[in-house]
């Protein structure tokens, strides 16, 4: 399962059992770190996830994004509360790619803003799966 963690939402994506495709799973509205962690781990358990792929936000020039510290703290709490494996994946331009995917899939413009993070998580997961091949 992949996460696109933002300050207000967490986009979720999942792969199939053969780890070939990635699809959006949903978007969580952030509440607080503890509750967000609980929800993510609950969903991971429901889907029998053995690995979380976390989007690492960096600028195009490679500098760390300002929100990275918040995300690292969140990921550290997940690691403390679960034995699920965690890997980082560069998320540069994933939101732009997600916009293109949504347009191609016929997602209405009004829905795109609501679903951007889950599609971005699917892009991140797709990149990870491709890299593993």
CB 90 within 8 A of CB 64: no
pLDDT at 113 over 90: no
pLDDT reading at 32 higher than 80? yes
* Residue 118 binned pLDDT confidence (cut-offs 50, 70, 90): very high
List, as one string, the DSSP characters of the chain.
-EEEE-SSEEEEEEE-TTS--EEEEEEEEP--HHHHHHHHHHHHHHTT--EEEEEE-B-TTSPBPTTHHHHHHHHHHHHHH---EEEEEE-TTHHHHHHHHHHHTT--HHHHHHHHHHHHHHHHHHHHHHHH-
Domains of the chain: total: 1
Residue scoring higher pLDDT (93 or 3): 3
Average model confidence (pLDDT) across the chain: 90
> Is 117's pLDDT higher than 80?
yes
Domain of 25, CATH number, reads 3.30.420.140
pLDDT for res 25 = 96
> pLDDT tens digit string along 57-86?
877 777 777 788 889 999 999 999 999 999
Instruction: Provide the domain limits for residue 27.
Output: 2-132
């Amino acid at each position: 399962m992949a996460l696109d963690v933002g300050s207000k939402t967490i986009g979720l994506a999942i792969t199939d059992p053969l780890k070939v495709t990635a699809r959006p799973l949903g978007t969580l509205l952030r509440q607080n770190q503890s509750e967000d962690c609980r929800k993510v781990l609950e969903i991971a358990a429901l889907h029998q996830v053995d690995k979380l792929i976390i989007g690492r936000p960096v600028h195009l020039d490679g500098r760390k994004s300002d929100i990275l510290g918040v995300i690292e703290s969140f990921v550290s709490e997940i690691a403390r509360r679960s034995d699920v494996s965690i890997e980082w994946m560069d998320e540069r331009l994933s939101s732009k790619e997600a916009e293109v995917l949504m347009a191609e899939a016929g997602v209405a413009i009004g829905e795109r803003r609501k679903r951007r993070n889950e599609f971005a998580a699917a892009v991140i997961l797709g990149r990870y799966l491709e890299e593993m091949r």
